Chains A and B, each alone.
Chain A
Amino acid sequence: MFSSEWSLVLFTVLTQAAVGIVVISEFTRLLLKNSGAHLKWQAPAACALTALGLLFSLTHLGTPLHSVFTILNLGSSWLSREILVVGCFFAVILLLVLQRRKAPEKGATPLAIASIVVGLGAVFIMTRVYLLPTVPVWNSIATTFGFFGTMLLSGSVACGLIGSLENRSAKNAESCSSMAGVFCVSALVGLALKFIGIVLSMIALNNTDNYGMNALHMVADKGVDGLVAWIVMVCAGIGLFSWFALKAMGTKQIKLIASPALCALALVLAGEIIGRLMFYGTYMRIGI
């Protein structure tokens, strides 16, 4: 029921969180141009998370030294495309970080837009890797909703945590509260995507049988605790985060988010890791 594919679980969750951080923070930055709100540490944090995710992905391989060959089949393999696009995402945000370090007064807007586009492309291609015609439990739009949900949930809460820390003594309270609003909306959209994904994944699970075992029955039999823990943790995390984000918007004090966002991030990441372990654990293929 729960997979032991820790390397893939951590690779996908961390990379999707990194994309979420970049997409949400860069979008906020473009929206609140020159407002005085600081969004300086999100891109470096995403860069570190992507590097960590890529390192975890190497531990999945039987022969990691051959990983250089994994981009040779771009013509037909979604896995090849995934490796290339995640590598490109890392390169683009690394360039963004370096450029902002070199010239902090400039926004590096073209690179910021490129990092959003490549990041969203990376999450889309990651979902395609799992849409295998022989694995009906994954071959569903539920996978797409789930991955984009993870991106927004973890990205928004992580942005909130970093944003509240770096804007503790910000002068422009108005733009900081707008920033909290964007993070809060992103988190709630992420939660909605996650729930649509969970419902659709139940339909996909029910369509899958192998060795006479129905995948939904397997979840009902052995996975209820995990499913409940996943939903409760994500809801608690987003509830906590949204409550304090709204409070910060009302009082124009973004520093109020810091501690709740830390708890929310721990809850969301733990919940998402449980959910991803179940995703890999319910792998069932058609055939013989």
Chain B
Amino acid sequence: MLKRPAFYIDTTACTGCKTCMIACIDKHDLPDGVLYRRVSEYTGGAWTRLEAGTYEQNVFSYYLSISCNHCQNPICVRSCPTTAMHKDANGIVSVDHDKCVGCRYCEWGCPYSAPQFNEKLGKMTKCDFCRDDLEQGKAPACVTACPTRALHYGEYAELVAKFGEAQIIAPMPDPSITQPNLLVKPGRNAQPAGSKNGKISNPEEV
């Protein structure tokens, strides 16, 4: 098992097909409205006037497939009143359903929308890094399903050695809040973190 599990997303390879989302829903048999992984489409740009009086466009769009980042300093764990939300010995942030009261406070705080409330259970649920697959040495369902191999997983230090240090692009939040175990390869249109140039254009899907 991993000690510090992390995800790597190559935004230059991701086509926004959402197969990872579907594989996750299928694997965990998730009810309507509960998504452990969400593919956000960040879009912006407009026509700009050039000196010669002509126009050119600077539109951009890219996708970010985000699940729980099993952060090093998870705000959900810090704020959970019951200690149901916890980070286990394998570095996986998970919910103890014998304790969870379903107050949804973790949902308010997490800047990655990782904790998801299950109405039927009356409790929080979230990505468990496909713990059962990891125990058998298999990759998580989202990683296995990705048709463009944009998603990778592994030990954080090994991913850093392979793909380089973590980079943050819009619309990702300031990583110092939770220290996410997430590495992103930015594309040529990637906007800097904190940029107001674009917006998430598929809010109804995530």
Binding site for A on B (CB under 8 A): 38, 40, 64, 66, 75, 78-84, 99-105, 108-113, 117, 119, 121-124, 171-174, 177, 196, 198-200, 203, 206
Contact = CB atoms under 8 A, between A and B. Distances in A.
A62 B117 contact: yes
20 contacts: A61-B102, A62-B100, A62-B101, A62-B103, A62-B123, A63-B102, A66-B102, A69-B99, A71-B81, A72-B99, A79-B103, A83-B81, A132-B108, A132-B109, A135-B108, A135-B109, A211-B203, A286-B174, A287-B110, A288-B171
A186 B30 CA distance: 52
A213 to B, nearest CB: 8
A169 interface: no
Interface residues of A, number: 32
Contacts of A67: 101
A134 B83 contact: no
B113 A287 contact: yes
Contacts of B64: 288
B113 A70 contact: no
The 9 residue pairs across chains A and B that have the minimum distance between CB atoms: A62-B102, A212-B199, A287-B111, A62-B122, A80-B81, A287-B173, A69-B82, A66-B101, A79-B81
Given A63-B101, A70-B103, A76-B79, A288 B121 contact: no
Interface of A is mostly: loop
Given A63-B123, A283-B108, A288-B40, A79 B79 contact: yes
Nearest to A133: B177
B109 A134 contact: yes
A77 B110 contact: no
Nearest to A74: B81
A288 B79 contact: no
A72 B103 CA distance: 14
Contact of A70 (B75, B82, B119): B82
A70 B85 CA distance: 12
Given A283-B108, A285-B111, A288-B113, A73 B103 contact: no
Contacts of B171: 287-288
Contact of B82 (A64, A66, A134, A209): A66
Contacts of B83: 69, 72-73
A135 B177 CA distance: 12
A63 B110 CA distance: 21
Nearest to A79: B81
Contact of A77 (B81, B104, B123): B81
Contact of A288 (B101, B112, B198): B112
A286 B173 contact: yes
A119 B64 CA distance: 46
Contacts of A76: 78-79
A77 B79 contact: yes
Contacts of A79: 79-81, 103, 105
Given A77-B79, A288-B206, 12 more contacts: A62-B117, A62-B123, A63-B102, A63-B122, A66-B84, A79-B80, A83-B81, A132-B108, A132-B109, A134-B109, A288-B40, A288-B172
A21 B173 CA distance: 41
B99 A62 contact: no
Contacts of B121: 62-63
A78 interface: yes
B100 A70 contact: no
A132 B100 CA distance: 20
A73 B82 contact: yes
A70 B80 CA distance: 8
A60 interface: yes
B108 A285 contact: yes
Contacts of B113: 287-288
